[in-house]
Amino acid sequence: MTATAGNAAFGVGIAALIIVWLVIVVGSVVSMVVALIDIVRRPEWQWKLARQEKVLWLLLVILINFLAIPALIYWFNIRKKLLAVEHAAARGEYGPGHFTYAGWEPGPPPNPYVGLTPPGWYPDGSGQNGGRWWDGTQWTEHVQSAATPPDPSGA
């Protein structure tokens, strides 16, 4: 083998190593960005129900993303748990309730308008009765036909 053929083979080998290195770097950065977007968009309640820490995975993917290993672990392991929680919640497996920033809370979601209208007798919208009792959160079955009926709460 001549010296020029050896130099050409060496040059091809270096070029191949550079291409492989670029593919690894670009793939690592792309997987890191995709994982970060997915981590950030997931609500806190999913992380709590999956018993994972959102901040920990953010830090792992950002700070220690050597060869995209944390991003790949997140994508193929942790994300599966988060998706399972999301699908279970959509099927209603956690029972009736709603999600808050603190996690799952049983029961209906809180009324954002509670306290705006005080309890009392108000005109009945159905037009069948003179008035209907509003308990401060919802209409009750108590209706009035007279001008001033007794308070249904017993007070």
> What's 53's DSSP letter?
-
Digit-coded pLDDT (tens) for 106-145: 677 666 665 677 788 888 877 777 888 888 778 888 888 7
Instruction: Look at 62 and 2; give whichever has higher pLDDT.
Output: 62
| Residue 150's pLDDT band (cuts 50, 70, 90) | low
From CA 133, how far away is CA 123, in angstroms rounded?
9
Whether this prediction's pTM lies above 0.95 is answered by no
Residue ranges covered by each domain of the chain: 3-106, 114-145
> Could you tell me if residue 37 is left (phi over 0), alpha (psi between -120 and 50 degrees) or otherwise beta?
alpha
pLDDT at 79 over 90: yes
Alpha carbon 139 to chain centroid, angstroms: 33
pLDDT at 153 over 80: no
